[in-house]
Amino acid sequence: MIFIRSGVDGMVVGGTAGEDGLRSLDLRTDEAHSARIYDAVLGGKDNYAVDREAAAAMLREWPALPVHMRANRDFMHRAARYLAEEAGIRQFLDVGTGIPTSPNLHEVAQAVAPESRVVYVDNDPIVLAHSRALMAGTPEGSTAYVEADMRDPRAILDAPGFRDTLDPTEPIALCVIAIVHFMLDEDDAVGLVRQLLDPLPSGSYLAMSIGTADCAPDEIGRVAREYAARGMPMRLRDPEESLAFFEGLDLVAPGLVQVHHWHPDPAEIGTIDDADVGMYGALARKP
């Protein structure tokens, strides 16, 4: 059992047994979990036997899965750097944060602009248990963690951690990385993203990566079935469906592309096979 102490201003920091205000969290270590599977595929240590079994099954179906996952993570880094360096953004709202893996978004943004402010959002007790790593920002900037579900945008926007950290009158980058493929049609992922973006001012940005099976339909289809068999059904999208998230926004060149083609590091151009990356990515500005 993991114990967590609730912090001030909507933030949450790790605690230890015996402190006041502790509450226990059930991390469901007997069930595979998407964040821990991701960690296991990439050789991390924040996973359990059930997650490693799931990762092994998925790797048998699609050996390129680690390439795909690293490409997505690298896209997030490049998008955050572009937002801080080229677009001048100093406020970030990262929804569906996942298990912290350095460099995290605030580390990338604050390396460019130390005064950057970042709010991380997740509803997962696993992320909550690791949230201390998300609090270690620069003295000039600030970071906060909000425990909330993307399916309840109002809870995110009304959270003290959001209101006390970000200025809603100044542009904010909304980052939704590798999360909407776990949202089914009945969840209305496009509508939920819009509810988060609509209150943000002109000059804000939307950065997204969106799961697809277009590059390797058979292999990714089998991986999706492995997820579904463990209670994690997926909704993979084609380019037209992915572009729906950016309707009314001004796409930053090169538009919607596989994530490894979005502003790639020159040294990496041509090193990744398109068939190994099942993720579209784009960045767009709100007029």
Q: Which residue has the tokens 């943004």?
A: 109
Q: What percent of the chain has pLDDT over 70?
A: 91
Q: Is 1's pLDDT higher than 60?
A: no
What's the pTM?
0.89
pLDDT tens track for 144-182: 999 999 999 999 999 999 999 999 999 999 999 999 999
| Confidence band of 122 (pLDDT split at 50, 70, 90) | very high
**DSSP of 230-258:** TT-------HHHHHGGGTTSEEPTT-SEE
Q: Is 106's pLDDT higher than 60?
A: yes
Q: Is 11's pLDDT higher than 60?
A: no
Mean pLDDT over 53-70 rounds to: 98
Which pLDDT value is given to residue 15? 31
Task: List the single range of 21-25, 91-95, 111-115, 230-234 with lowest mean pLDDT.
Answer: 21-25
| Confidence band of 129 (pLDDT split at 50, 70, 90) | confident
Instruction: Map out the domains of the chain as residue ranges.
Output: 64-216+234-285
d(CA 117, CA 44): 27
Which pLDDT value is given to residue 126? 82
Mean pLDDT over 209-216 rounds to: 98
Q: What is the CATH number of domain 64-216+234-285?
A: 3.40.50.150
Nearest to 28 by CA among 147, 122, 124: 124
Q: Is 40's pLDDT higher than 90?
A: yes
Which pLDDT value is given to residue 183? 96
Which pLDDT value is given to residue 153? 97
Which pLDDT value is given to residue 191? 98
Which pLDDT value is given to residue 13? 34
Q: Is residue 241 packed enough to be buried (19+ CB in 10 Å), middle (13-18) or exposed (0-12)? A: middle
Mean pLDDT over 112-132 rounds to: 89
Which pLDDT value is given to residue 21? 36
Which pLDDT value is given to residue 262? 98
Which is more confident, 91 or 26? 91
d(CA 248, CA 224): 31
d(CA 187, CA 216): 25
| Confidence band of 27 (pLDDT split at 50, 70, 90) | low
CA atoms within 13 A on the CB side of 127: 26
d(CA 125, CA 4): 9
